[in-house]
Structure 1
Amino acid sequence: MRISQQGCILQSGDVRGYSKDAELLLGGIFAIHMDVEYPEVKYQDLPETIRCRRFHIRYYRFHLAMIFAIKEINKSPHILPNVSIGFIIYDSCYNEVRSLLGLMWLLSGRQETVPNYNCYKQAMPEAIAGDTPSKSSMPIARILGLYRYPQVRHWKTSTLLSDKTQFPSFLRTISNGNFEVTALARLVAYFNWTWVGVIISDNDLGREGSQLFIKEIEKYGGCVAFLEILPVHNSQEEVFRILEVVNKSTATAIVVYTTMENLIPLMEEASSRNLTDKIWLGSARWSIESDFPRKDILKTFNGSLGVAHRRGQIPGLKEFLQSIHPSTSPEDVFIKMFWETAFGCKWLDDKTRGNASKNGIPLCTGDERVDSIDNSVYDVYNFRYTYKVSNAVYALAHALNDMYLCVPGQGPFKNGSCANIHNYQPWQLLHYVKKVHFKNTAGEEIFFDENGDVPLSVDILNWQLYPNGSSRYVQVGTYDSRSPKGKDLIVDEGRIQWNGRHSQAPASVCSARCPTGHRAATRKGHPICCFDCIPCSEGEILSPTEINQCIKCPDDQWPNSIRDQCIAKVIEYLSYEEFLGGCLAAISILFSILTACIFGLFLKNCNTPIVKANNRELSYLLLVSLMLCFLCSLLFIGHPLKITCMLRQVIFGIIFSICLSSILAKTITVVMAFSATKPNSKVRMLVEFKLPVYIVLACSLVQVVLCISWIADSSPFPEFNMAAEIGKIVLECNEGSTIFFSCVLGYMGFLACVSLLVAFLARNLPDSFNEAKFITFSMLVFASVWVTFIPAYLSTRGKYMVAVEVFAILSSSSGLLICIFFPKCYIILLKPEMNTRKYITGKNKKTLK
């Protein structure tokens, strides 16, 4: 091994750095250049140093942010009073080798890179801020972790760095890299994108991110349409194949979880194919980048969404960034590079004199104004990662301040001891860094969790392309993991500009959402997001939590017209207020009045032959019974109560039995009257014995016994019938015992049949004394009504069942009234000459002859 003349120094290559001495030093490693050029190794002479390329103005702000933060800390009377802080900042050029070289420089002393040895103790920084890429941070963190040397990073990092067993001294002022996947999944769920494509890098970052993303969107009911892996090394064939998959897929939303280096070849080809009908969703690793080599990529990204870590406020930084000048910071080795890149000029020296004039590049004069630089190139308003750099520096300063203010006996170490601010071990400062908790200059609380991370807080950005070709990303929402569930994601859709083919948020689904009242039935062999729609069964609605399940409404509820919720069923019964109930009640009252009028007419003409014929008292009883029959139908109309349910069938059965018994008695009276006129007839004794009266009493008594038994054993009661009609609750009377109900109706049918038979046999007796023909016809009407009543009653439900019974009562009663009494009323009112004893006697004589 070749060793320089100073025994403690290993020979190093070229080091690009900027430092300022003070009592305490903070180290910084930032990727100010974006790329490196590897020299050719010949092993014939000393190898050249890896050369840096592509100066990055945005990353240069990290360097300036650290310098500004240290200046502000040194001015503050509250942080390390009377103690000055300096810095040592190194450019890693986005390369692992340069990062490790810079680390050795920081730890060993300037350009002398000796592992685990420091020749210049005053050059040893207290802690390290950086590096930018994860590929560099990991090896740095492993080395610093050996000595528990604090490292605070500001940039997007791998989740692996949260493992404190491997990286015990690593912390970061930015959330765990996988946390932003949670924000992306929430954003996808917000727009109901259940069919999403995923493109990842072929590295730990992509694989870890995709696994977590898939898990998250499945939790929200989403599916992955495809998962494509971009190779780390550019492969044109793979890019073509992946874009073919993207183009053919029905998924509109595409999540791209890759590094910037992997993304550019893919998007260049997508732009060439004019693939602008997709919505790209980017992670924070590329969503705020705008330095794409081809500007037509921006057209492809137009309308896409991304997440970026929350923008922060750093008071005074804007003015500081605009005040920098090579003349005021001659020690800053990067400021002239910034000047040349920002203004497109060259500083005059021996190397550039000839090239600048030859290539037509203007010379830098120093009169250029920093505040004239376009904001898209040198942004002095939006601080995201720059803000994280400032927080990292302040976190280290506050940790040093806590150490500085430690009171002996109350310290955190053994026996309450404190660490000397000028002489301490790295692990002692690490203790304070982990415990730090403060408010920064913007008023935000800064602290680390047990993994050395800070809570996730990101902005939702929208890429917007303007007609003049310029583009910018616009904040359209936020996601804050510290907020309550449901309020963590806020999106202002009015600010979102979708690409030219979409005027509003496009759909990205495998199957369109089922219409209301339909459930999703998964297609066999397909993901759950691909389904067919099947209508829910009667009485069911779609579950509010499961799209593939219908739930039955409670018994007292029913789906509304669109089947999205259960509503209370309508309680239905035959009421007076509705047309049907009102008409039946009116007919009932009308016929009862008509019957009362006929009864009055008969009382007025009680001594006339037509009234006295066939037993005047039975006619009166029949008219009163018919009048009550009409009125008892009112018990069937209106709100069913316990008393009305118990009485209506009983009263109806008893009164109708009296009617039928009276008709039977009248028919038998006709037969007996003609039989009594025959010589030596024994029937006269039965007439004098008043047999018809006993017939009425006996026949009616049977029905009374049946009804009393019915009430005593199982009386009718009101109930809510949930199943009678769809979507309705029928308030009806439960008859209690079907057997007794059938017996009551059957007994009336028996009386009607007997009356019909007797009347039919007596139909040919002389007309003047004979009602048999009218009774026969009335009983035929009665029988027809009640025979048709049975199937009609059994085939109807709800209030119409009651209406059928009321109609049967009114029809049969009116049939009896009309057939038996209207002919008599006709004679009494219109043919009074026929209602005389002389007319009846004369006619009878003719008949007997």
Structure 2
Amino acid sequence: MAICAGSSSGISCTQPAENITGLLSRPGDIVIGGTFMVHFDRVSSGLDFTSQPHELQCGMFIIEYFQNMHALIFAVEEINSDPELLPNITLGYQVFDTCFTSREAARGTLLMLSGGNEITPNYHCHKGAPLAGIIGDSWSTGSIIMAQILGLSRYPQISYFATSPVLNDRDLFPSFFRTISNDEYQMRGLAQLIFYFGWTWVGLLADDDDYGQHGLQMVKEELNNGGACVAFTEYILTGQADRDAPRLVQVLQKSTAKIVIVISSNFVVVVEELLRQNVTGKIFMATEAWATLDLLSEPRYQGILTGTIGFAVHNGLMSNFSKYLRSLRPWKYLHDQFVLEFWEQAFACKWPTDETLAWTDNVTIKACTGNENPESVEAEDYQRASLNVYTAVYAIAWALQNMVNCRPGTGPFSGGSCANISSFQAWQLLHYIKNVNFKTKDGSQIFFDAKGNPPAIYDVVNWHLGAEGAAEHITVGTYDLRAPDGNTLKVDSKRIVWINGDTQVPVSKCSPSCSPGFRKVIVSGKPLCCYECARCPQGQISNQTDAAECHPCSWDTWPNLQQDRCLPRPTEFLSFGDPLGFSLTGTAIFSSLIPLLILRVFTWFKKTPIVKANNYSLSCLLLLSLFLCFLCSLGFIGYPQLQQCLLRQVAFGLVFALCISCVLAKTITVVIAFNATKPGSRLRKWTGVKVSYPFILICTLIQLCVCVLWLFVIPPFPELDTDTKPGVIIVNCNEGSPTAFWCMLGYLGLLASISFIVAFLARRLPDSFNEAKLITFSMLAFLSVWVSFIPAYLSARGMYTVAMEVFAILSSSWAVLGCIFVPKCYIVLFRPNMNTKGHLLGKSKSQK
């Protein structure tokens, strides 16, 4: 700011005296400016304003940043010696050390715009070579301040390391370009790298400036969209001397996140604190700001940083750059304070001109002589950030070359005019830079898109422990948005080494993985990645780790015990080979022989009194029906076929209707026979078969009608039941109409009830003439079996439902057979003395 004071001769304006430090320049026909943070830190001093503030004191000289500055000088010298690029034009330069401060970035910009060694805002006060543009700055906040100043006059600015997406805004920063991709691509790539390794629990650490804040927001959004969770979000406070490192290290130590993304240019201070507190076990993901930083590659840091992986500026060839760096000699550059500091740093010495030679651990640091061997300085032609500086210089040079090649009448300006190379305006050169397109010496195509960005490409680097204990930055992949196959991220996992030399990808999750057979259950109040594992519901599986949902098996399959795959469901039915089915089959066959055996006994002794007295023909019919009752139970055993399903209940209903009808007919016959013996009784004509057979036929026909109606309306059919028993397909016969089934069964109950009632009422008739008592017991047992059958049938499942019905058929048939025929067989076979007419008549008289 100019100071104006009154005097007798008028008003005079003077600029406040200010020492300009950290400036290197070389004259030329056209000057290219540059700002670099050769020093990483500055010495803080109190600002109480009781005395004139001290000039900024820079500290921590970084050789890598020094190389970036000299990449500009190297490129200018190379262009000046190139007879084809800008012939007859000599490029000059002005480079300025910003010492990683916004104030110095702004001051350096104003100094170069003023055109001399004094700052005159908004004026170019010195007659000299025009300024083509400025290459810088090395960080986003400084670049934003510079872009706001340079954008006022449309001076081209090309940054080699500022990645903030804010600089994409062409309305705010119309003259800004860069030779490094912006953070929008990098943060998206970092998120892809997180997903590539399967990490879901990640910490975020970033500078509290434009670079850190915008980068953190972008990567956090990408992580959230991809399903990962952020364990913590912390900022490195760049305004504090300790960067708030002690507290940040405590956060890192307490967090369960194993992976930490660091978006910072100030991570060195945090690493120092990590080293002091001996905090290890974290894997850091680096942005391009420190992914290949030599300062952090020192051996003392490798217990913390080995295994680091991240994105670095794409490596490229700068021919003869290493040779140039080794050619630097202090006696050649006595005016260049940076070369002197480089010499001290490279050879661990001090120039004797210093007031003292520092003492460290009681060892005196040797004095620099200038004769040290520069061949021992590590340098290579493959560069990263320095290559971006080199490319930026060539972008301006090719823009100037295109301006020189302009032919009047075909130029891009009004009336087809061209710009004068010796007196061009900044906005004219800006036009050519926007449209520059050239190939570097390593074959890379360089151009700028509408937002001033170059083609996006990064190297994926992994920090290995070198032979001498320092870190080696090994390229293990690329992130290239120009990839022709669309596969932007390519990683060679076999080359990656993690903590302690481990090659197994580490796990970073909030919760342990859910094994197959389980699913994730979100815990209320916690991030989505912090979940619990719950067993899949019955009938469902999950066949992958960390499944969000379980999936049901198909109808004919069922999960295994682990619930991680579906197996074919076993089928269940009452088969002949099953122990239960085999037992029932054997019982049914054996039982069916008993009525035939009794029938043979009755046939053999049919002329005996006790057989004749119990209606021989009805007894034979009843025995045949009981034979069929035992056999019909076999229709319920075996794999249910359509014909079997149609006939088994019908056969059961009809043969049992025939059986109970015979019992009822025998009961009625006994009653009629007793009453027909009374003098003058009219019932004599109804004795014999005149009543029995028609009555049996009518009762059986009623059941037949019910069954036929059932078969025609809603017939039974085979059914595969997958719901009744989990994991099993029950093959059974669906009765079609439950109403018809219970009507058929109810009709049998009705016949049995009538038989029981009639027999009960006739129980006091003489034993010689009737079997009422035996029929009463048989029907009581029959009804008891079937009444008990109803709840058992309804509660049974699967083949046991069928087994219950078979058991009821056999039990009820045995009840009739045992109660009615066994006592008679006993008398016929073992008490022949009671099987006489006299005995029967005598017994009759005694009972009168």
Q: Give TM-score scaled by structure 2 length.
A: 0.78
Q: 1:338 aligns to what? A: 342
Is the deviation greater in 764-773 or in 90-99?
Answer: 764-773
Once the two structures are superposed, the pairs formed by residues 57-206 of structure 1 within 5 Å of their partners are 57-66=63-72, 86=91, 88=93, 90-94=95-99, 95-96=101-102, 98-100=104-106, 102-103=108-109, 123-177=129-183, 179-188=185-194, 196-206=202-212
Q: Report the counterpart of residue 505 of structure 1 in structure 2.
A: 506
Deviation at 1:542, TM superposition (A): 8.0
Q: 1:729 to 1:337 in 2, by over 3 A?
A: same
**Aligned with 1:361 (options 357, 362, 366):** 366
Q: 1:824 to 1:404 in 2, by over 3 A?
A: farther
CA distance change for structure 1 residues 553 and 324 in 2, over 3 Å: closer, same or farther?
Answer: same
Of 291, 298, 301, 2:295 maps to 291
- 1:12-44 deviations in whole A, cap 9, x for unaligned? 965766677888765443333435679999x9x
Alpha-carbon shift at residue 848 of structure 1 (Å): 4.4
Q: Is 2:274 aligned against 1:275?
A: no
- 1:29 aligns to what? 35
**Retained in 2: the 8 A contact 1:558–1:566?**
no
State the Cα distance separating 1:787 from its structure 2 match.
Answer: 2.1
Please report how far the alpha carbon of residue 325 of structure 1 lies from its aligned counterpart in structure 2 after TM superposition. Answer: 4.6
Which residue of structure 1 lines up, in the alignment, with residue 9 of structure 2? none
d(CA) in 1 for partners of 2:409, 2:625:
111
Q: Post-superposition shift, 1:694? A: 1.3
Cα distance, 1:233 vs. partner? 3.3
Matched, 1:560 2:559: yes
User: What is residue 573 of structure 2 aligned with on the other side?
Assistant: 574
Give the Cα separation in 1 of the matches to 2:356 and 2:252. Answer: 50
Paired residue for 2:311, among 305, 308, 311?
308
Return 658-667 or 264-273, whichever deviates more.
264-273
With over 3 angstroms needed to count, the CA separation of the structure-2 counterparts of 1:641 and 1:156, relative to structure 1, is farther
CA distance in 2, matches of 1:412, 1:611: 133
Matched, 1:388 2:388: yes
**Cα displacement string for residues 139-184 of structure 1 (whole angstroms, at most 9, x for unaligned residues):** 3222322233322212143332222211111122223235544444
Aligned twin of 2:791 = 791
- SS of 2:383's equivalent? coil
Q: How much has 1:324 moved relative to structure 2?
A: 3.6
> Compared with structure 1, are the counterparts of its residues 799 and 454 closer, same or farther at alpha carbon in structure 2 (3 Å cutoff)?
farther
Distance 2:110 2:532 in 1: 63
Aligned to 2:805, the other structure's residue is in SS state: helix
Once the two structures are TM-superposed, the CA of residue 132 in structure 1 deviates from its matched residue by 1.5
Aligned position for 1:701: 701
* Alpha-carbon distance between aligned partners in 1 of 2:558 and 2:486, rounded to the nearest angstrom: 31
In the alignment, residue 744 of structure 2 is paired with which amino acid?
V
Q: What secondary structure, in the 3-state scheme, does the structure 1 residue paired with 2:93 have?
A: strand
Q: Is the 8 A contact 1:640 1:731 kept in 2?
A: yes
Rate the CA distance shift 1:520–1:650 in 2: closer, same or farther, 3 A.
same
8 Å Cα contact 2:671/2:762 also seen in 1: yes
CA contact (8 A) 2:141 2:210 kept: no
> Contact 2:570/2:727 (CA < 8 Å) preserved in 1?
no
Secondary structure at 2:292's aligned position in 1?
coil
Trace 1:692-731 onto structure 2 (pairs within 5 A): 692-718=692-718, 721=721, 723-728=723-728, 730=730
Q: Distance in 2 between matches of 1:815 and 1:446?
A: 104
Alignment partners' CA distance in 2, 1:75 and 1:584: 108
Task: State how far apart, in whole Å, the 1-side matches of 2:105 and 2:320 are.
Answer: 27
Q: How does 1:399-410 map to 2 (within 5 A)?
A: 399=399
Partner Cα distance (2:394, 2:583) in 1: 90
Shift, 1:92, TM fit:
2.0
Q: Offset of 1:425 from its aligned partner? A: 4.7
Q: Offset at 1:662?
A: 2.4
CA contact (8 A) 1:23 1:83 kept: no
Alpha-carbon shift at residue 792 of structure 1 (Å): 1.3
Instruction: Return the letter of the residue paired with 1:790.
Output: I
1:441-590 → structure 2 map (5 Å cutoff): 441-442=441-442, 446-454=446-454, 457-463=457-463, 470-474=470-474, 479=479, 488=489, 490=491, 492=493, 495-498=496-499, 505-509=506-510, 512=512, 517=518, 519-523=520-524, 538=538, 553=552, 556=555, 560-561=559-560, 567=566, 570=569, 572-574=571-573, 576=575, 579=578, 582-583=581-582, 586-587=585-586, 590=589
- Quick one: structure 1 residues 519 and 711, their matched pair in 2 at CA, closer, same or farther if it must change by over 3 Å? same
Listed one character per residue, the Cα deviations across residues 450-505 of structure 1 (whole Å, up to 9, x for unaligned) are 43234655455555568975444555665556679997475738734226999872
Preserved contact between residue 596 and residue 624 of structure 2 (Cα < 8 Å): no
Partner of 1:650: 650
Distance 2:61 2:747 in 1: 110
CA contact 2:509–2:529 (8 Å) conserved in 1: no
Query: Distance between the aligned counterparts of 1:628 and 1:503, measured in 2?
Result: 75
Q: What are the superposed Cα offsets for residues 113-146 of structure 1, whole Å, 9 maximum, x if unpaired? A: 6666668888335443322133432232223222
Classify 1:468/1:103 alpha carbon distance in 2 versus 1 (closer, same or farther; 3 Å): closer
Classify 1:661/1:390 alpha carbon distance in 2 versus 1 (closer, same or farther; 3 Å).
farther
**Distance (Å, rounded) in 2 between the aligned partners of 1:297 and 1:797:** 71
Cα pair distance change 1:687/1:21, threshold 3 Å:
farther
Residue identity in the other structure for 2:453 = D
* Post-superposition CA distance 1:190-235 (Å, at most 9, x none): 6666555544444344443444444444334455554444433336
Contact 2:203–2:232 under 8 Å retained in 1:
yes
Q: Take 2:162 and 2:786, find their aligned partners in 1: how far apart are those partners?
A: 89
CA deviation string 1:34-68 (max 9, x = no partner): 35679999x9xx99986765442212332454456
Give the secondary structure class of the aligned counterpart of 2:135: strand
Give me the whole-angstrom Cα distance separating, in 1, the residues matched to 2:421 and 2:630.
Answer: 110
Report if the CA contact (8 A) 1:158-1:205 is conserved. yes
Structure 1 portions without partners, runs of 5+: none
CA distance in 2, matches of 1:580, 1:212: 70
In 2, distance between residues paired with 1:557 and 1:455?
56
Structure 2: distance between partners of 1:714 and 1:573? 25
Code of the residue aligned with 2:506 in structure 1: it is A
- For the 8 Å contact 1:32–1:56, the answer to whether it is kept is yes
Cα contact 2:400–2:421 (8 A) shared by 1: yes
Aligned length in residues: 827
Unmatched 5+ stretches in structure 2: 5-12
Q: Indicate if the aligned counterparts of 1:571 and 1:731 stay in contact, CA closer than 8 A.
A: no
More displaced 10-residue stretch of structure 1: 131-140 or 87-96: 87-96
**Equivalent residue letter for 1:160:** V
Q: CA deviation at 1:280?
A: 4.4
Amino acid at match of 1:492: S
- Helix, strand or coil at the partner of 1:157: coil
Does the residue aligned with 2:35 lie in a helix, a strand or coil? strand
- Tell me, yes or no, if the aligned pair for 1:30 and 1:130 is still in contact at 8 Å: yes
Is the CA contact 2:774–2:820 (under 8 Å) kept in the aligned structure 1? yes
